[in-house]
């Protein structure tokens, strides 16, 4: 079938001497500004002539002109197509007060606090990126079979939207998993399924923040995307320092109504919040009517020590919203996370989820539910915990031996990365920049601070790099230093 143009062609009256020039000019302009995309098949000359009310010879002449100019290509018995080797479409010059003026944006989004992420970032040769798990041992074949089963089941189910709170089977599986793995006391009804931890922060910000009034206390250094979610909702962000025991509770502002923390593995420095600080934080929340957002992003991967209880486990006043994700235990593109919410917040979070995107993809939820319920997640976490433990120890041993006097590694009891703080007053940013240029993917702690850094350092992820890569990458870094 011949394609139809999605834009009108306006030609002079029949008999005009400018029919050919007008038709050729409008087609050429449509190609240049991108309305006719490269590879698009143009209508047959007879069909376009009939649609425009002109002779076929006029259309043939217009196509021949475009062909001679390189704007279209002709395929033998295959029609005429827009050429694919053209210059990029021309951007119209910005006009003050035009509909695209950035002043139409809400004030927060004119200069957002986060740089846009690249769609396909280049992976460094030695990949010490933070927050990236390993996939070499993941059972993709098993995941595929479970997905196929979920699709077959869906084909025989009534056509309907899913529950905004999450698929019942997945909420049941998550409740069972976190009760076993992290001693988080909850039932399926306490769980709200989200599109990763980031949507959990966004939904919590929507239901907890009154724009311009609510004070949200965050760790400094801390996780920028979580800060951004609360700031975008209109919160007043107050940075609170951390030390070797975690968030310094004594420095919390009295008017803080939301407190965001990473107690199991402080991001990015790696300390675990002490038992005394946990008790003090819970007491502060109860005394001031504050809500604690507990981000347990990679606490499943423990290295030798018995983990301290989650804040949610210790909570007796329904002050804690526990956030988890499967981006670190499985893979980031899965985009499934959850909130274990107190009773008073559950309905609001579910309605906020419904307003945001209604529900997460049901097939992915059903696949993950089966993956957890059949024990595959627990087996995968145990296997990866052993693998990550070996990498972590090699990283610590090499940093202590080869970077003594330069870096002071912070031992981490959990997670997929560790920090190494600079000895003295060295600035690691130029070194990290040179290292990335040479294929050693390390970054500094600088971007995670809101206030001044008292002691900068480097971050080393060990999720996506094997032992040979760790050894070679650190050797290359040592030479650069």
The angle formed by the CA atoms of residues 304, 309 and 312, to the nearest 5 degrees, is 145
Are 47 and 81 found together in one domain?
yes
Both 370 and 383 in one domain: the answer is no
Residue 97 within any structural domain of the chain: no
Chain-centroid distance, C-alpha 212: 26
Q: What pLDDT sits at residue 118?
A: 62
In this structure, are 185 and 305 located in the same domain?
yes
318 and 298 together in one domain: yes
Q: Which helix (H) or strand (E) holds 83?
A: none
Q: Show the domain range for 43.
A: 1-92
Q: 332 and 262 in one domain?
A: yes
> pLDDT tens digits, the chain, 481 residues: what are they?
455 666 678 888 777 778 889 999 999 988 888 888 898 889 999 988 888 888 999 999 999 999 988 899 988 777 899 998 655 555 555 555 555 577 888 888 888 887 776 655 678 999 999 999 999 899 999 999 999 999 999 998 888 999 999 999 999 999 999 998 888 989 999 999 999 999 999 999 999 999 999 999 999 999 999 999 999 999 999 999 999 999 999 999 999 999 999 999 999 999 999 999 999 999 999 999 999 999 999 988 998 777 788 999 999 999 999 999 999 999 999 999 999 999 999 999 999 999 999 999 999 999 999 999 999 999 999 999 999 999 999 999 999 999 999 999 998 889 999 999 999 878 999 999 999 999 999 999 999 999 888 899 999 999 999 999 999 999 999 999 8
Distance, C-alpha 463 to centroid of its chain: 17
Tell me what pLDDT residue 121 has.
62
Task: Say if residue 313 is in the same domain as residue 238.
Answer: yes
Per residue in 396-451, pLDDT (tens digit) is: 999 999 999 999 999 888 999 999 999 987 899 999 999 999 999 999 999 999 98
**CB of 415 within 8 A of CB of 270?**
yes
Number of domains present in the structure of the chain:
3
104 inside domain:
no
Whether 370 and 459 map to the same domain: the answer is no
Q: Domain for residue 102, yes or no?
A: no
Residue 119 in domain = no
Q: The tokens of 127 are what?
A: 């990949």
The CATH number for 457's domain is: 3.90.1150.10
pTM exceeds 0.95: no
In this structure, the answer to whether residues 286 and 401 fall within a common structural domain is: no
Residues 269 and 172 in one domain: yes
CA–CA distance, 254 with 377 (Å, rounded to integer): 41
Q: Tell me, what's the pLDDT at 1?
A: 44
CA angle 247, 251, 252 (to 5 degrees): 80
Angle between helices 429-437 and 467-480 (to 10 degrees): 120
Residues 386 and 299 in one domain: no
Judge if 303 and 405 occupy the same domain.
no
Q: Residue 28: which CATH number?
A: 1.10.10.10
Tell me if 150 is assigned to some domain.
no
CA distance 28 to 20: 12
Instruction: Return the SS3 of 283.
Output: helix
Contact 262, 277 (CB under 8 A): no
Whether residue 389 sits in one domain with residue 259: no
Whether 117 is in a domain gets the answer: no
In a domain, 120, yes or no: no
């Amino acid at each position: 079938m011949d394609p139809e143009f999605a834009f009108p062609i306006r030609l002079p009256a029949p008999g005009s001497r400018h029919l050919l020039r007008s038709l050729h000019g409008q087609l050429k302009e449509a190609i240049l500004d991108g309305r006719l995309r490269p590879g698009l098949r143009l209508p047959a000359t007879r069909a376009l002539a009939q649609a425009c009310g002109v002779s076929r010879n006029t259309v043939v002449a217009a196509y021949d002109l475009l062909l001679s100019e390189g704007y279209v290509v002709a395929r033998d018995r295959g029609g005429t197509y827009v050429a694919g080797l053209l210059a990029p479409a021309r951007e119209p010059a910005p006009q003050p007060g035009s509909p695209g003026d950035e002043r139409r944006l809400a004030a927060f989004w004119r200069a957002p606090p986060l740089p846009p992420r690249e769609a396909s970032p280049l992976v460094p040769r030695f990949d010490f990126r933070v927050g990236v798990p390993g996939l070499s041992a993941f059972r993709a074949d098993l995941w595929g079979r479970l997905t196929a089963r979920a699709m077959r089941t869906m084909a025989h189910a009534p056509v309907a939207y899913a529950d905004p709170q999450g698929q019942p089977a997945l909420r049941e599986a998550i409740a069972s998993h976190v009760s076993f793995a992290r001693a988080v006391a909850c039932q399926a009804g306490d769980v709200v399924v989200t599109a990763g931890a980031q949507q959990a922060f966004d939904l919590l910000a929507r239901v907890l923040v009154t724009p311009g009034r609510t004070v949200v206390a965050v760790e400094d250094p801390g996780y920028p995307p979580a800060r951004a979610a609360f700031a975008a909702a209109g919160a007043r962000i107050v940075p609170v320092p951390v030390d070797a025991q975690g968030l310094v509770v004594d420095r919390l502002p009295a008017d803080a109504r939301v407190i965001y923390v990473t107690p199991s593995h402080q991001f990015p420095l790696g300390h675990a919040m002490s038992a005394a600080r946990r008790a003090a934080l819970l007491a502060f929340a109860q005394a001031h009517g504050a809500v604690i957002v507990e981000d347990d992003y990679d606490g499943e991967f423990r290295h030798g020590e018995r983990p301290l209880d989650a804040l949610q486990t210790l909570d007796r006043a329904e002050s804690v919203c526990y956030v988890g994700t499967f981006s670190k235990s499985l893979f980031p593109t899965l985009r499934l996370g959850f909130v274990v919410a107190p009773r008073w917040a559950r309905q609001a979070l579910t309605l906020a989820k419904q307003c945001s995107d209604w529900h997460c993809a049901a097939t992915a939820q059903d696949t993950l539910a089966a993956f957890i319920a059949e024990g595959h997640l627990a087996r995968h976490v145990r296997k990866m915990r052993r693998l990550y433990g070996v990498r972590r120890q090699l990283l610590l041993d090499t940093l202590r031996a080869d970077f003594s006097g330069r870096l002071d590694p912070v031992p981490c009891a959990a997670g997929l990365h560790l920090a190494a703080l600079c000895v003295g007053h060295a600035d690691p940013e130029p070194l990290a920049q040179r290292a990335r240029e040479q294929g050693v993917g390390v970054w500094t702690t600088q971007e995670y601070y809101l206030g001044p850094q008292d002691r900068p350092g480097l971050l080393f992820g060990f999720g996506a790099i094997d032992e040979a890569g760790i050894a070679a990458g650190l050797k290359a870094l040592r030479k650069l230093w």
